[in-house]
Structure 1
Amino acid sequence: MSYPLDPGFSLDFTDLRIVARGLTRPECVLALSDGTLVAAHGGAGYSLIDAHGRVEHTLIRQPAPRAYLPNGIAVAPDGRVLFADLGKDVGGIFAIDAAGNVEAILDSLDGQPLPPSNFVLVDGEQRLWFTVSTRKRPRTDAWNHRVADGFIGVVDARGARIVADGIGYTNEIAFSPDGQWLYVNETYNQRVSRFSLQPGAVLGAKEVMAEFDGADLPDGLTFDAHGGAWITCIGSNRLVVLRPDGNMQTVLSDTDTAYAEGLARKLREGALAQEDMKTAGHSRLGNISSLAFGGPQRRTAYLGCLLDDCIRAFESPVPGLAPAHWQRRVRSQPGGRLA
């Protein structure tokens, strides 16, 4: 079957619309079948956006045990929101209920504190998958092509364990529509790779599916229903589709060329610093970091970002793949903080 996305399809920044403002570091955005969007909140919590654009924030109750930085988020089958904590020194996977109570789901592995953690999802079999980008301290020591010490882990009936290691800055993961592959973005190694998914949550050998250059730093990863992988790149602020035949298609680009050239040079030299990633230059996309398909027939694509306070959207010519959380609902309770 041929892939139905027109190879000439592309968007301009002016084709995007803003669906919600008043957010804080909405790095990860999820869409549910009832029209709700869920976004990570950099102030230690999450934000809900209803179908009318109304925003409500749920933050961890104070005093919290420590400072948290929610990065990737997931909706658990019980309605709680899970987040991967991208902390300064330690990470973990945590749950927040509607009252702002926080619970550790996994904060250590093999007797050691879990390093700062990047992404989390709960699949259709209720297995929890998570990623750790690097074991380096500080994390900026892994912002180059030389370090590959990130990993993918799983929590299931057998317990918590690492199922793939030696990954170059592990970021978002996503299952292919046929369920046979687990794809992963290797952000600062500038690759998209995949592993065959075998019984018992066992992963096969890694296969590199795409490589990037310049300032393309693959962050968000989402499949459409026909097998195309939609990849958001921070740094370059580009949205790229990895077509099933292996060809790459740029769908959206809002790149500050001078900034991107400097970023690419520092990446090659191993000299990237925190200050370099605190800006997107003059790009208006604010380092797009995730994409979620939602709306009727999952043809609306929502873009999360690192450096802006909003979620932008556009209409997609192809529908998104229904994620495992599509029919789940965030457990609600009155009293959330309104934007």
Structure 2
Amino acid sequence: MTIHSVPGDFHIPFDDLKVVARGLVRPECVLALDDGSLVTAHGQGGYSIISSVGEVSHHLAHCDTARKYVPNGIALAPNGKMLFADLGNQYGGIFSLDRHGHLETVLDSVDGTSLPPSNFVMVDEHDVLWFTVSTRNVPRSKSWNHHVRDGFIGVIDGDGARIVADGLGYTNEIAFSPDRRWVYVNETYAQRISRYPLTGSAAKPRLGKRETLVQLSEADLPDGLAFDVAGGLWVTCIASNKVLLVRPDRTVQVIVEDSDPAHVGRIAAGIRESSLEHADMQTPGNSRLGNVSSIAFGGRDMRTAYLGCLLDDCVRSFRSPIPGVALPHRSRRIR
């Protein structure tokens, strides 16, 4: 058995979670920087900064178009610009935003086809931009079941923009294993966590054959994920409103849970029956976690876990027994 330093009975009650800041708008994604600040997505077209003392400021795009941008995943690029994946109703893409609200298109098509609503973006330590598209279906609710597998992972590298993995069941966040041998991905409505061997060169990566790491059930819909330094994978689940730890031996431990059993039953049935509609996912039921959607490790010792969400106005946190892996954006600064 693989040894992992998180005790098997480690659990955080909801009332022990700390509210870091309120006044946010759809803080789906959270980034933690080494100066103690946090950056979150802002659902009305930008991002929010939470200072090290908890002060919140909002930074929205200034644009002349009537298009409404819905930042989902966000990233801090090496050049200091914020990037976001646009999860609009009809259109997607990857966009950059500077401190003054100037918006630029980074990518709006791949393989000659316009990008559908887009989910996640990151820039790794080798300046490769990674992004995900959950589904090619519009509306996205057509893919909220176990049957549709049309999501993909893409990159922008020295060869340009290209798809590196296709046929996923609602692609969400990705993360690199601490040894950088694997790319892990949440397939939300397939209810599984998968991984791909990372091949090619650092500057021009390729992905091998997909493996299933863990298959989830009921209304556990994996959204965000982050590694700890011992190879444990921390996963947030919308609908069931849980934070899970997938230990290196692939056993799954519930770290945080604030589920509404009736809501969980409705969502699980809707997935099985391919009957979920947009309104079904616009409520957490009676859960107080607001559809917890992302997890980011930060703080001086990398042992503070920050939680983003879809349906509340706050970021919450708890202390982990083990540090998280420091991501490349940690030392970057917004310019």
TM-score by length of 1: 0.96
Q: What is the aligned counterpart of 1:304 among 303, 308, 311? A: 308
Secondary structure in 2 aligned to 1:298?
coil
The residue that corresponds to 2:319 in the other structure is 315
CA–CA separation in structure 2 for the residues paired with 1:64 and 1:179:
40
Give the distance between the partners of 1:254 and 1:90, measured in 2 at CA. Answer: 33
Aligned-residue offset at 1:137: 1.5
Alignment-mate amino acid for residue 121 of structure 2: V
3-state secondary structure, aligned to 1:9: coil
Shift of 1:296: 1.5
CA contact (8 A) 2:144 2:189 kept: yes
Alignment correspondent of 1:88: 89
Aligned equivalent of 1:217, options 217, 221, 236: 221
Say which SS state the counterpart of residue 329 (structure 2) adopts.
Answer: coil
SS at match of 1:10: coil
Write the letter of the residue equivalent to 1:266: G
Find 1:231's aligned residue among 229, 232, 235.
235
Question: Following superposition of structure 1 onto structure 2, how do residues 194-205 of structure 1 map, counting pairs within 5 Å?
Answer: 194-199=195-200, 200-205=204-209
Matched, 1:8 2:9: yes
1:29 matched residue in structure 2: 30
Give the alignment of 1:106-185 within 5 angstroms.
106-185=107-186
The total of aligned residue pairs comes to 331
2-side partners of 1:186 and 1:250: how far apart? 19
Match of residue 335 from structure 1:
none
For 1:293, which of 292, 297, 319 is the aligned residue?
Answer: 297
Q: What is the one-letter code of the residue matched to 1:254?
A: D
Q: Which amino acid aligns with 1:220?
A: G
Q: 2-side partners of 1:228 and 1:81: how far apart?
A: 28
Which structure 1 segments of 5+ residues have no match? 332-339
2:180 and 2:253 mapped to 1: Cα distance? 23
Question: 2 CA distance for matches of 1:185 and 1:234?
Answer: 12
**In structure 2, what is the equivalent of residue 278 of structure 1?**
282
Distance 1:202 1:307 in 2: 35
- Structure 1 distance, partners of 2:227, 2:65, is 36
Partners of 1:18 and 1:182 in 2: how far apart? 31
> What are the superposed Cα offsets for residues 247-289 of structure 1, whole Å, 9 maximum, x if unpaired?
1000010000111111111111000110100000000000000
Counterpart residue identity of residue 79, structure 1: G
Secondary structure at the residue paired with 2:184?
strand
TM-score between the two structures when normalised by the length of structure 2: 0.98
The share of aligned pairs that are identical, in percent, is 57
Distance 1:64 1:100, change over 3 A: farther
- Does the residue aligned with 2:25 lie in a helix, a strand or coil? coil
Alignment of 1:51-66 (within 5 A): 51-64=52-65, 66=67
Q: Note the alpha carbon deviations across 1:9-67, whole angstroms, 9 max, x for none.
A: 00100110101100000000010111110000001000000110001100001434621
Shift of 1:171: 0.2
Name the SS for the 2:285 alignment partner. Answer: coil
Partner of 1:242: 246
Distance, in Å, in 2 between the alignment partners of 1:238 and 1:2 is: 23
Structure 2 unaligned blocks of 5 or more? none
Aligned-partner SS, 2:244: strand
Matching of residues 41-56 of structure 1 within 5 Å: 41-56=42-57
Contact 2:63 2:102 in 1 (8 A): no
